[in-house]
Amino acid sequence: MASITIRQLDEDLKKQLRLRAARNGRSMEDEVRTILRAATGGDGSPSPAIAFGAPSKPTGRLAKPHPSSAAGRVLLIIGGGIAAYKSLDLIRRLKERGLEVRCILTAAAQRFITPLSAGALSGNAVITDLFDAAREAEIGHIRLAREADLIVVAPATADLIARMAGGHADDLATAVVLASGGPILLAPAMNPTMWMRKATSRNVAQLVADGARFVGPAEGEMAEAGEAGVGRMAEPLEIAGAAESLIKGGTRPLVTRGTGPLAGKRIVITSGPTHEPIDPVRYLANRSSGKQGHAIAAAALDAGADVMLVSGPVNVPDPVGVTAIKVETAQEMLDAVELALPADCAIFAAAVADWRIAAPSREKMKKQNGKAPSLMLAENPDILATVSRSRRKRPRLVIGFAAETQNVIANARAKLEAKGCDWIVANDVSPETGIMGGDRNAVHLITRSGIESWPPQSKDEVARALIARIGSTLDGGC
């Protein structure tokens, strides 16, 4: 059996334990015993108070919120998925940042991890039941919700997301979220097919519209053997970083939208390459990094917009606060964009593959005695052209990109006509420019009324300039 001594605890945890023990007139060891007993519900005596930083002696009445010395208070709701084990590490990562953590485990979560481990790591009693009379009398789910500076839901399963989007309150997790009214960060984790379902996208979009923030999911292998795709929970470090920046106020608005030049505007952005499968392990791709598209998403967010970011496989992180829909193929990207519309503006920065393999092999293709296979290509749908010509869902402003290696402006002008969009952002991506995958860009903005050539600048600066232009155009009507 593993053993742990107080000496081995990190300094922050020790400090909190010392304070808590002193408040309750106990030794540090006795305080740990009390916490562990309460976490397992095995003491038979009144459990320690549930409130953040509250003294652990029951008071018989609602304890007053206790001023916390922590950098902020996180209420971590752990949902029932295999990724729940990563949430134990998340507790440590949050605490490393000086955040106080209180955990709620859903009934399903308790099939994956125990309240004992979450309680020991967080240093606070874990709450599991909406209908626990003793605990409800001590703190109540309403106060629990209100005392948190941020609610983090990790893993946020498809079911939890659906119930939160629907305003359910039939268990502790959903009741707390409904009662909160404060900032919420969700880290989804589910099977890729579930993540791609329209029902899930609808629920995610609803939560975003209600002010929730998302981090992940990431692409990768699933716990189920042989399954891969988008649906893995973001790594604990990434979630903790997002939580910290939201608590600090970050650079971005939280729940309160309504500030910035794009406040109240909904922007759909595509970014990155697409991957077109050849067989289960090989694909056709291009060198797009997603840096420019993601920078535009961040700039739109900073300007107060609701941002739906439809991204192909990239290594750059999604800006915290966008609704990120991860796709692989052009067809998936089109499906996701159609789902994300209507919008005030759509920016198609992705480098979408023009062709896909007509009939990808179901099994890994094998070498055949020196005879190379021939691959038949089929044309992909053109997302920019489809949306530009849509009668029902065309945004007021549709912007395409043109990555060219010759006749940049002439080709871009032709593209504006051929695709029916309003603007084209054109650039020369010849290898010697270093633009593809690099951090800088030199673009021409081609509109129906003329051409502007912008000076070489960082991709962030291009993004901010473009968003400023979009803001003034949408304001002036177009």
* Residues that bind ligand C5P in the complex, under the rule CB under 6 A: 270, 330, 348, 350, 352, 354, 380, 382-384, 400-402, 415
Numbers of helices and strands, H then E, in the chain: 16, 21
Return the number of the residue (165 or 330) whose C-beta is nearest ligand C5P.
Answer: 330
Helices 198-209, 158-165: crossing angle, 10 deg rounding: 50
Cβ 342 to ligand C5P shortest distance, Å: 17
Cβ 355 to ligand C5P shortest distance, Å: 9
Return the number of the residue (228 or 358) whose C-beta is nearest ligand C5P.
Answer: 358
Cβ 394 to ligand C5P shortest distance, Å: 14
Q: What is the dihedral of CA 262, 383, 231, 282, to 10 degrees?
A: -140
Return the number of the residue (70 or 408) whose C-beta is nearest ligand C5P.
Answer: 408
DSSP string, 223-281: SSTT-EEEEEPPPHHHHHHHHHHHHTT-SS--S----STTTT-EEEEEESB--EESSSS
Q: Is the dihedral of CA 344, 422, 333, 311 positive or negative?
A: negative
The letter for the amino acid at 333 is M
DSSP string, 308-330: EEEE-S-SSPPPBTBEEEE--SH
Cβ 203 to ligand C5P shortest distance, Å: 26
Task: Give the pair of three-digit tokens for residue 71.
Answer: 């950098």
SS3 string, 350-389, reads CECCCEEECCCCCCCCCCCCCCCCCCCEEECCCHHHHHHC
Cβ 346 to ligand C5P shortest distance, Å: 10
| Phi, psi torsion values for 330, nearest 5 degrees | -60, -40
Stretch (H or E) spanning 172: helix 172-180
Q: Show Cβ contacts of residue 200 under 8 Å, excluding neighbours closer than 6 positions.
A: 158, 161, 162, 190, 194
Return the number of the residue (180 or 270) whose C-beta is nearest ligand C5P.
Answer: 270
Cβ 218 to ligand C5P shortest distance, Å: 23
Cβ 298 to ligand C5P shortest distance, Å: 18
Q: Is the dihedral of CA 357, 362, 366, 371 positive or negative?
A: negative
Active site residue 24: no
| Token pair 């003491």 in the structure block, residue | 43
Return the number of the residue (243 or 352) whose C-beta is nearest ligand C5P.
Answer: 352
Cβ 106 to ligand C5P shortest distance, Å: 40
Catalytic residue among 24, 124, 203, 286: 286
| CA–CA distances in Å: residue 70 to residues 63, 74, 94, 254 | 19, 10, 11, 20
In angstroms, rounded to a whole number, what is the distance separating the alpha carbons of residues 300 and 304?
7
Return the number of the residue (189 or 351) whose C-beta is nearest ligand C5P.
Answer: 351
Return the number of the residue (324 or 350) whose C-beta is nearest ligand C5P.
Answer: 350
Return the number of the residue (138 or 318) whose C-beta is nearest ligand C5P.
Answer: 318
Please, what is the Cα angle at 24 between 19 and 30, to 5 degrees? 90
What is residue 217's three-state secondary structure? coil
Return the number of the residue (206 or 411) whose C-beta is nearest ligand C5P.
Answer: 411
In angstroms, rounded to a whole number, what is the distance separating the alpha carbons of residues 188 and 319?
15
Task: Give the pair of three-digit tokens for residue 371.
Answer: 């005879």
| Phi, psi torsion values for 254, nearest 5 degrees | -95, -110
Cβ 419 to ligand C5P shortest distance, Å: 6
| Phi, psi torsion values for 341, nearest 5 degrees | -80, 160
Residues annotated catalytic, as ranges? 286
